[in-house]
With several copies, the nearest count.
Chain A
Amino acid sequence: GSGGSGGSGSGAKVAAVIKGLDNPFFQTMKQGIDDQARTGGVSTTVQAANAITDTTGQAEKLNALAGQPYSCFIVNPISGTNLVQGLAKIAALKKTIVNIDSPIDAKAAKTAKATPATYIGTDNVQAGKMAGEQMARLVGSGGDVAVIGGIAGDVTSGARITGFGQGIGPKLKIVQTVAADWDRQTALTAATNVLRAHPDLTGFFVANDDMGLGVARAIANAGKTGKVKVISVDGIKDALDAVKSGSLDATVAQYPYAIGLMGVEACQASAKGKTLPADVKAPVELVTKDNADKALAATPKPFGSYDDPFKALGK
């Protein structure tokens, strides 16, 4: 297992390996890590995979860092198991592992004797579900909806879509799911085609904001703004703006900033020898036109209050 005994008294030395670098979601996560590190006087290095699909590339980066004198590792694995080798190495050195955003596969972690000290998670199924419920509210009368996902087979995308399916209830029907590779232009093209195939579509669920903005654009091009609803997930700033202006109907904000920030707090707490809570839920908020202003003012931080057990531990 992992102990919380790695850090020296003066403070943790933190290495973070996160997912992609061409996506604002993870940049906000990095911002959270950096901000907390600065206020806490912790030295950090943040590394990311080349792309959100680059499982082995991410593993290589963690492996490279594993032998370095860091006391605490924050990891956001692309898949449940791709980082396990590096984690085994880290655990063997009795250093703290903080798992954020996507969970490490429990069975694999156990086999590798590398169970993380804590998991600060976004529940993507939950986020999708919130989007689904909101969609059901927006189009109370029911109808057809389509889903624009990330890369086909992507785990995060899959979880969000699953949640959406659970949330929409019986009146809505998913007529088509298209993979748009997390790319705004591809999503735009895909949504244009879907709108053509299903002229009386009532809504789109889009697996992230960047693509969501592309879908909103496609709806605008087709002159159907307002008639076809769009809900996406992430809560990046541009999406909040779009919600405010009405081109996007809602976004489920996941606050990667808070996740990153709590990750560093967990490292700090562990450096002080505290025992970390095993599972911490990161805040998720539904942003609609009503609360868009509040969300915008607070971004990248959550606008509501949320539960941060590490705050207390760090004292």
Chain B
Amino acid sequence: MADAQLAVPGRDAWSTRLRDIGFWAEWAALIGLVVLVVVFQSLNSTFLSTGNVQSMLVAAAILIILAVGQTFVISTAGIDLSVASTMTLGAVVFGQAYTSGWGLPLSAVVAVVSSAVLGVVNGTLIARGKITDFIVTLGTLSAASGLALILSNGKPVTIVDPFLLRLSTGGVGIFGWSFIIAAVVAVLAHVMLFHSRFGTHVLATGGAPESATAMGISTRRIKIAVYTVSGTLAGLGAILLVARVGAAEPAANTAFLLNSVAAVVLGGVSLFGGRGTITGPVIGALLLTALVNGLTLLGVSQFYQPLAVGIVVVLAALMTRFQR
């Protein structure tokens, strides 16, 4: 019996730990962010200056909004590859409407609605057409950027609007308006995911579609809904994008696509669905933004930046292993 004390020190078998990764990964982004902030601040004291924090938050706003939309989709075990081109389409629609003199409010509504419609199309094809999410949204990625090119005739339209300028530059304290909008979106999304029936059904659809169906949840309707949410948020992102770059352009915005998924996954949401958080992806988006900002501040050479980004992303995820 004395042997019990001498036995192998407590180590869980890996199958158990594997199941726990999901849990630890939820906080990967936060730990990564904190470490990053400490490192950058110690190397360059302007990193945490009011001005820089403010511009980081503003820079993160669009990514946060897209990542929130992506979170809903990924929670149902789907993926929205079209999120960036939907945003592009929204921006171009906004630009065309605005330059045709429809006025700011109407243009914004039209932009958001057209992005939402694209989301509905995605969701309908996936749920009713029963095609894999990946292929459908890859298809609409291509189709939406094509539409954006056709609508804009391949040319950017400059949009100078005092309201939009204020939206992109003004704010309350260190919080720019666009960051405030993103924060509100995140809070609403959190409530939706964890405090509404819809949210529970989203997670059930992602976690065990057959069980969800057996309990009478219409997984089709849920699928359509999450893509609509993602599309709508892409439309909102489009308006912030136009405000930020001062133009509606048919650019591809590929970086937003990969980053939105990266933020979500870094935020601890499983690509296999069934588990979601909103704080995670938001922190993930902040992490990715802070990373680029910090590397630029430190004057890391352009060639070394991708290498540094890659290493930091992997480390941020790896770090969590040493948590327990």
Contacts and interface: CB of A to CB of B under 8 A. Distances in A.
B244 A67 contact: no
B254 A53 contact: yes
A53 B252 contact: yes
A93 B160 CA distance: 22
Contact of B55 (A66, A84, A107, A184): A66
Contact of A24 (B55, B156, B169, B256): B156
A277 to B, nearest CB: 25
A210 B155 CA distance: 10
B100 interface: no
Contacts of A66: 51, 55
Contact of B158 (A68, A153, A175, A241): A241
A210 B154 CA distance: 13
A22 B250 contact: yes
A139 B240 CA distance: 34
Interface in A136-177: 149, 151-153, 155, 158, 175-177
A88 interface: yes
A178 B306 CA distance: 11
Interface stretch (B5-13, B14-22, B296-304): B296-304
Interface in B236-279: 241, 244-247, 249-256
B296 A47 contact: yes
Interface string A1-37: 0000000000000000000011010010010000000
Given A184-B251, A185-B244, A112 B297 contact: no
B293 interface: yes
B169 A61 contact: no
B302 A24 contact: no
Contacts of A54: 255
Contact of B251 (A53, A63, A108, A217): A53
Given A63-B59, A107-B158, A196-B55, A188 B46 contact: no
Interface residues of B, number: 49
A213 interface: yes
B302 A194 contact: no
A217 B245 contact: yes
A233 to B, nearest CB: 16
A149 to B, nearest CB: 7
B149 interface: yes
Contacts of A107: 158, 160
Q: How large is the interface on A (under 10, 10 to 19, 20 to 34, 35 or more residues)?
A: 35 or more
Contact of A152 (B46, B156, B303): B303
B250 A67 contact: no
A177 B62 CA distance: 25
Given A60-B289, A79-B247, A82-B246, A112 B154 contact: no
Interface string B132-152: 000000000000010011001
Contacts of A177: 301-302
A236 B33 CA distance: 40
Contacts of B245: 55-56, 59, 79, 81-82, 84, 184-185, 188, 213-214, 217
A111 B59 contact: no
Interface in B29-70: 44, 46, 49, 51-52, 55-56, 58-59, 62
Contacts of B109: none
Contacts of B52: 64, 67, 196
A51 B154 contact: no
A154 B32 CA distance: 31
B247 A67 contact: no
A221 B169 contact: yes
A190 B153 CA distance: 21
Contact of B253 (A108, A155, A183): A183
A155 B55 contact: no
B254 to A, nearest CB: 7
A184 B299 CA distance: 20
A204 to B, nearest CB: 13
B168 interface: yes
Nearest to A18: B302
Interface string B78-119: 000000000000000000000000000000000000000000
Interface of B: 44, 46, 49, 51-52, 55-56, 58-59, 62, 145, 148-149, 152-156, 158, 160, 162, 165, 168-169, 241, 244-247, 249-256, 289, 292-293, 296-299, 301-303, 305-306
Give the 3 A-B CB pairs with smallest separation, nearest first: A81-B246, A193-B296, A153-B250
Given A112-B165, A149-B302, 4 more contacts: A24-B156, A67-B49, A81-B156, A88-B169
